[in-house]
Structure 1
Amino acid sequence: MPAHATDIAKVLATPAAEALIERLRERHGPLLFHQSGGCCDGSSPMCYPQDDFIVGDRDVRLGEIAGAPFYMSPSQYEYWKHTQLIIDVVEGRGGMFSLENGEGVRFLTRSRLFTDEEVEALQAAGRF
């Protein structure tokens, strides 16, 4: 069956990530994510209170995970646009400025390449 662009998530979260997002939301209120570009915290997905992070005018909104919008810079998006990002949680220290820091776990970005069929559907819908 052909892929439909509305069924293709550019970013999604594992159940473990969704559970951590919910715990952080209970403590900090509405959240947002920004995929780090490799500075201080490598290339970690960074979680912030929505009111504490200013999204750039050109940042690309990939979608939402557990109700939290997820962004990345345009240059990063150009590199990653052929992939679906899967946000997971692993043991370890969180990003220095990310809300999970001190939880004993951290968000981690995994990815998979979109299939040719998914790319075609995203292109046809103007989402690529």
Structure 2
Amino acid sequence: MVDRVIATPATLELIDVLRAKYGPRLFFHQSGGCCDNSAANCYIEGELTIGPGDVKLGEIGGLPFYMSASQFEYWQHTQLIIDVIDGHGGGTLSLEGPEGKAFLTRSRVFTDAELAQLRAS
């Protein structure tokens, strides 16, 4: 099966750090606005409302990963690869900021075969 979102080993390590610090009830939302820097942000449940306008792409590190439906229209042909860089993500509200890290979204275009598999599932 093809995953719409995957995480690098560095991301999985940082998720473990955040889970130890903030507890297990965390989730990701790939933002699409200017003030949250259009990045994958990690939140504690209740800090951001997930609603019918959001699409669950999958899970990384056991945490659900969502994106707004309007953003999904642009990204649906790509696999999101969530990575980590040193530094701050430009004022991000995401939980990793105090760790001196920032989540970074990379992507790759799905092959025709992968897209067919996704559509069939």
TM bin, normalised by shorter chain, reads over 0.9
Q: How many equivalent residue pairs?
A: 119
Deviation at residue 103 of structure 1 after TM alignment: 1.2
Matched, 1:82 2:95: no
Matched, 1:117 2:119: no
Deviation at residue 105 of structure 1 after TM alignment: 1.1
Inter-partner Cα distance in structure 2 for 1:46 and 1:124: 29
Q: Unaligned 5+ residue runs, structure 1?
A: 1-6
Query: What is the letter of the counterpart of residue 53 of structure 1?
Result: L
Q: CA RMSD in A?
A: 1.1
2:11 — aligned with what? 17
Query: What is the letter of the counterpart of residue 23 of structure 1?
Result: V
Inter-partner Cα distance in structure 2 for 1:51 and 1:79: 26
Q: Unaligned 5+ residue runs, structure 2?
A: none
Identity %: 58
SS in 1 for 2:38: coil
Deviation at residue 36 of structure 1 after TM alignment: 1.0
Q: Is the 2:37–2:92 contact (alpha carbons within 8 Å) kept by the matching residues of 1?
A: no
Matched, 1:100 2:96: yes
Runs of 4+ residues over 6 Å off in structure 1: none
**Alignment counterpart, residue 33 of structure 1, candidates 21, 28, 52:** 28
Which of 80-89 and 36-45 deviates more? 36-45
Which structure's CA Rg is the greater one? 1
Question: What TM-score comes out, normalization by structure 2 length?
Answer: 0.93
Question: What TM-score comes out, normalization by structure 1 length?
Answer: 0.88
Query: What is the letter of the counterpart of residue 12 of structure 2?
Result: E
Deviation at residue 50 of structure 1 after TM alignment: 1.7
Deviation at residue 59 of structure 1 after TM alignment: 0.3
